[in-house]
Homo-oligomer: A and B are copies of this chain.
Amino acid sequence: MAQIYFKEVYKDIFPFWDEISESDREFICQNSVAVTYPKKTNIHNGNECSGVIIVRSGCLRIYIMSEDGKDITLYRLHKGDMCMLSASCVLQSITFDVFADTEDESECYVINGSAFSQISERNPQIKIFALETAVSRFSDVMWIMQQILFMSMDKRLAIFLSDESVRTASDTINLTHEQIARYIGSAREVVSRMLKYFASEGIVEVSRKGIKILDKSRLKQLVL
């Protein structure tokens, strides 16, 4: 029963599913487990191989951490997303450590790392899929890093939103991304993307009505 269920889901998630042999498909399903993790649980810790994690419901936060416990969110995974960085035994070329926590109760499918590795050795399209998944995540990560390193764009945007909220005595900022970009000396695309990042962190809510500040204390932390 369980295996049939995995198959149904994998068919939609893996672009290579119809191209591999029936026995390889079964092998992947036999090496899969469905796990429901409670809210706020660490499910991947650094350089261990936790396997390939597929999110069925809930939300995972992927982050890097310093020795003294500071962390930076790299990205979040939602329904249908897949984490390759947790499978260090699959992608040998990844030598840095990420962490993954659940934000809400999350149902995940976990494919055993060494099984996935075996199967990707004999199916190049699986290996390509795994590598492309990793590379596209890296592009997101590079963007965030550049903004933080070079321009403190997170800080500049946080300062602007804070100041504007005080000035107008309102939690909602009624300016276009274009206008904000002009105020903080940046480009509209940069502001939109950083606001999306803030929104994914739960700091603001972005809608047609404007930008609503949800978490003032986190916004203040960014300003410091």
Contact = CB atoms under 8 A, between A and B. Distances in A.
Interface of A: 64, 66-67, 70, 72, 91, 93-96, 124-125, 127-128, 131-132, 134-136, 138-139, 141-143, 145-146, 148-151
A102 to B, nearest CB: 23
Nearest to A190: B67
A141 to B, nearest CB: 7
B66 A135 contact: no
Contacts of A136: 93, 95
B67 A132 contact: no
Contacts of A95: 136, 139, 143
Nearest to A94: B139
14 contacts: A64-B150, A66-B146, A67-B151, A91-B135, A93-B132, A93-B139, A96-B142, A124-B127, A127-B128, A128-B131, A131-B131, A135-B135, A138-B138, A149-B149
A93 B124 contact: no
Q: Which 5 interchain pairs have the tightest Cβ spacing?
A: A66-B150, A124-B124, A131-B131, A93-B136, A96-B142
Contacts of A150: 64, 66-67, 70, 72
A147 to B, nearest CB: 9
